[in-house]
Amino acid sequence: NADAFVLIGVGGSNNAARSVIEALRKDDAPEIIYAGNTLSPDAMNRMMKRLEGKSIYIDCIAKNFETLEPGSSFRILRKYMEKTYGEEAGKRIIATGTVGSSLETLCTKYGYTFLEFPLNVGGRYTAMTNVGLLPMAVAGIDISELVKGARDMQIRVHEESAEKNIAYQYACLRNLYYKEGYRVEMLSSFEPQFRFFYKWWIQLFAESEGKDNKGIFPSGVDFTTDLHSMGQYIQEGRRDLFETVIRIKTPANDIIINPDDDNLDGLNYLAGKTMDYVNKKAMEGTVKAHVDGDVPNIIIEMNKLDAKNIGELIYFFEKACAMSGMILGVNPFNQPGVEKYKKNMFHLLEKPGY
């Protein structure tokens, strides 16, 4: 019954949910507004203005509730909810955190709905938990199909032999390229709906593998748009990157390009062809050009962009990331480097104990 759902969170827990929401959100679902992912006052004020006149619910996702971005935003938004809804505010506030955290204590005191954040799951791996599934469901996404897709991929990569296991193949290819001097992996797709999926994928691999002075630097590009900016560097820049391209076999919708009697734009050679056909030829031409320019390419093919296939893709990357980290010789499930800046920041802010 809400106009908008405010998702408060930063890092993997936010990116995991947002990657799916931005790709698959239904048009008639509540607007998803993101908060708690920055400390910028300008961004916070702009976000607050978007709430005016809307019926909203909020969900604060914070595993240990020690990160300032979601914590400070949650404090400000709780005051807004109390001012706007009075005693009804508590029914509109949800929090997702670990049992025993100060976030749970806060929820117990004020009567907020509290959902458990799995203690043994890092934020970047939480798409198929309470953390990701609730906001995805609010966005109108069929989470049953999403989980089914992940489960199907889990069964597949656990039962396949090493020679046929696609997650293991991808993990091995990444590490072979790394040993040959390719230090950057660029994830790309020719579908703009993947723009936020790149952010999750980048965090997944950066936070899992970037340790002990090791790791492939993950990056993402949005084709064909970025071919007009990054294309020059990819084609003729330093030969230290390889590409992983997500190809979608069947589009959700398509458009036929009509003929034009005047043909003043010179595009009648496209008449009768679909936009998807043209888009795929752009992809094929790009891959060929980059491979000819000594940029290795890995192509990952999806049947279509829907909940089940996204679920498969998420589990595929999670499993491959774990395997790749093990091959590299690092622990893909911790992130000790992330905590170092926080200690300095808390000291400068004079937080007790720092």
186-245 pLDDT tens trace: 999 999 998 899 999 999 999 999 999 999 999 999 999 999 999 999 999 999 999 999
| Measured distance CA(37)–CA(244) in Å, rounded | 27
CA distances from 126 to 15, 27, 114, 119, 207 (A): 10, 25, 16, 11, 14
Measured distance CA(301)–CA(305) in Å, rounded: 11
Find the mean pLDDT for residues 54-61.
95
Q: Write down the pLDDT at residue 347.
A: 87
d(CA 97, CA 133) in angstroms, rounded, equals 14
Confidence at residue 231, expressed as pLDDT on a 0 to 100 scale: 92
How high is the mean pLDDT of the chain? 93
User: Residue 50's pLDDT is what?
Assistant: 94
pLDDT digits (tens, 9 = 90+) for 107-149: 999 999 999 999 888 889 999 998 999 999 999 999 999 999 9
Q: Residue 222 contacts by C-beta under 8 Å, 6 or more apart in sequence? A: 188, 189, 192, 194, 195, 198
Position 336 confidence tier, pLDDT thresholds 50, 70, 90:
confident
pLDDT value of position 234: 95
Q: How many whole angstroms separate alpha carbon 55 and alpha carbon 84?
A: 10
Mean pLDDT throughout 41-52?
Answer: 95
pLDDT value of position 16 = 86
What proportion of the chain, given as a percentage, has pLDDT over 90? 82
Q: Is the pLDDT of residue 12 over 80?
A: no
pLDDT score at 65: 86
pLDDT of 266 strictly over 90: yes
First to last CA, the chain: 44
Note the pLDDT of residue 343. Answer: 87
Per-residue pLDDT at 11: 79
Q: Is the pLDDT of residue 249 over 90?
A: yes
Residues designated catalytic: 207, 228, 342
- Bridge partners, 1 (sequence order): none
Has residue 341 got a pLDDT over 90? no
pLDDT bin (cut points 50, 70, 90) of residue 267 is very high
Strand-pair partners of 7:
34, 59
Lowest mean pLDDT among 10-19, 87-96, 205-214: 10-19
Q: Which residues pair with 5 in a beta bridge?
A: 32, 57
Residues pairing with 301 in the sheet = 247
Comparing 123 with 277, the larger pLDDT belongs to 277
